[in-house]
Amino acid sequence: MNDSAPAVEVTDLRKTYKGGNVCALDGISFTVGQGEIFGLIGPNGAGKTTLIGCLLALLQPDSGSVRIFGKPADFMSVRKETGYVPERSDFEHWMSGRQFLEYHHGLAGLNKSTRKRDIDECLEMVELAKSSWDRHLRTYSRGMLQRLNIAQLLIGKPKLALLDEPTLGLDPTGVTVVRNVIKNMREMGVTAIINSHQLDEVERLCDRVAFIRQGKIASIETIKGGTITDYILFVRWSENQLNGSLGSVVERAAALSHTALNECHHDWGRFRVRDHLAATELLKRLIAEGVPIEEAVPERMRLEQLFAGEQGGESNE
């Protein structure tokens, strides 16, 4: 593993299906640092799962590059450091939970002498009832299989974990287990990329989130304390003399202060600001332009709002 290289470096990735007729990824670029927990959100069919397929070198991109810890994704040394939880997995029904993990421990090329201990640890970590460890997988429920799927990720001791809908089919206890597993991975310095529709989980667990739409990254947000670090500044102003030119005045103030104007009405507006400095700058500009400000209230932004906003943008196109 190259210690200085980013965990994941994706450059101008393109992928099409059906002879180039369906564009799944359209020039995606991003970097994930080592030890970072990175989320992927976006509507169905946005290209998130295809992106994971390319990161795992299971799909061959049309162009662009994927480097994991500084090496091409299809290197065997990269596979030793990568783990994957598929969204739709399949299991050999004749196997027991323990045998399934034995199989993956062997495939991961890990030391046989630690196999039993590693398997027990992983099964305990995902809190799979001990009585089920030696039962055939055909008797497992959907939630139990998903826990086993997570255990399969852990058994390979990955440095980069790719989780595609990890909480799918899990009950609330199972969701807590996944949350704890990801927290443990963070403590151990494991990098994780999580594709999920559970926005609250993504908010809770991720350091950054990429919103993907129509094969492109629409935005990448940094998250702190469960909310996006960018926030909305709600500004109310009194009836003023600028009626005719209010819109253009507010727009100019926003542009000069490098903030985004989300909504503008005759007596209030909403702006997306990066930090307090940007908010102060915006207010100064508004006052300078003659907008009589009455109050300014910061509103923390949630992923759900971003998702709804981006979806709205999509439908307006």
Show contacts with other proteins in window 155-214 (CB under 8 A).
156
Q: How far is the CB of 95 from other proteins (least distance, A)?
A: 8
What is the crossing angle of helices 142-155 and 172-187, to 10°? 10
Nearest CA-CA partner of 234 in 277, 282, 200, 288? 282
Looking at beta carbons only, is 81 or 203 nearer to other proteins?
A: 81
Looking at beta carbons only, is 192 or 232 nearer to other proteins?
A: 192
Looking at beta carbons only, is 94 or 243 nearer to other proteins?
A: 94
Residue 126's SS3 state is coil
Q: How far is the CB of 56 from other proteins (least distance, A)?
A: 5
Q: How far is the CB of 58 from other proteins (least distance, A)?
A: 5
**How many separate helices (H) and strands (E) can be counted in the chain?**
10, 14
Q: How far is the CB of 208 from other proteins (least distance, A)?
A: 24
- Determine if 62 is a binding residue for other proteins (CB under 8 A): no
With a CB cutoff of 8 Å and minimum separation 6, the contacts of 184 are 125
- Determine if 84 is a binding residue for other proteins (CB under 8 A): yes
Looking at beta carbons only, is 73 or 246 nearer to other proteins?
A: 73
Show contacts with other proteins in window 98-127 (CB under 8 A).
99, 103-104, 106-109
- Determine if 80 is a binding residue for other proteins (CB under 8 A): yes
Candidate ranges 91-99, 259-267, 290-298, 305-313; the one touching other proteins (CB under 8 A): 91-99
- Determine if 89 is a binding residue for other proteins (CB under 8 A): yes
Q: How far is the CB of 162 from other proteins (least distance, A)?
A: 8
Residue from 8, 10, 46, 49 binding other proteins (CB under 8 A) = 49
Q: Which two tokens stand for residue 166?
A: 């990890």
- Determine if 53 is a binding residue for other proteins (CB under 8 A): yes
User: Within 10 A of 220 (CB to CB), how many other CB atoms are there?
Assistant: 14
* Backbone dihedral angles phi then psi of residue 266, each to the nearest 5 degrees: -70, -25
Distance (Å, rounded) from C-alpha 217 to C-alpha 196?
15
Residue with tokens 């994704």: 73
Running DSSP on this structure, what letter comes out for residue 165?
Answer: S
Q: Which two tokens stand for residue 216?
A: 């492109």
C-alpha distances (whole Å) from 43 to each of 17, 47, 127, 175, 213 are: 18, 9, 31, 21, 7
- Scored b (16 or more CB within 10 A) or e, 20-31 reads eeebbbeebebe
Task: Specify whether the CB–CB gap between 237 and 247 falls below 8 A.
Answer: no
- Determine if 91 is a binding residue for other proteins (CB under 8 A): yes
Q: Which two tokens stand for residue 192?
A: 């994780």
Q: How far is the CB of 280 from other proteins (least distance, A)?
A: 48
Looking at beta carbons only, is 99 or 311 nearer to other proteins?
A: 99
Nearest CA-CA partner of 82 in 74, 91, 93? 74
Looking at beta carbons only, is 155 or 228 nearer to other proteins?
A: 155
Looking at beta carbons only, is 15 or 285 nearer to other proteins?
A: 15
Task: Specify whether the CB–CB gap between 49 and 97 falls below 8 A.
Answer: no
Residue from 2, 17, 226, 292 binding other proteins (CB under 8 A) = 17
- Determine if 92 is a binding residue for other proteins (CB under 8 A): yes
Looking at beta carbons only, is 135 or 270 nearer to other proteins?
A: 135
List residues binding other proteins (CB under 8 A).
17, 49, 53, 56, 58-60, 76-77, 79-80, 82-84, 86-94, 99, 103-104, 106-109, 138, 152, 156
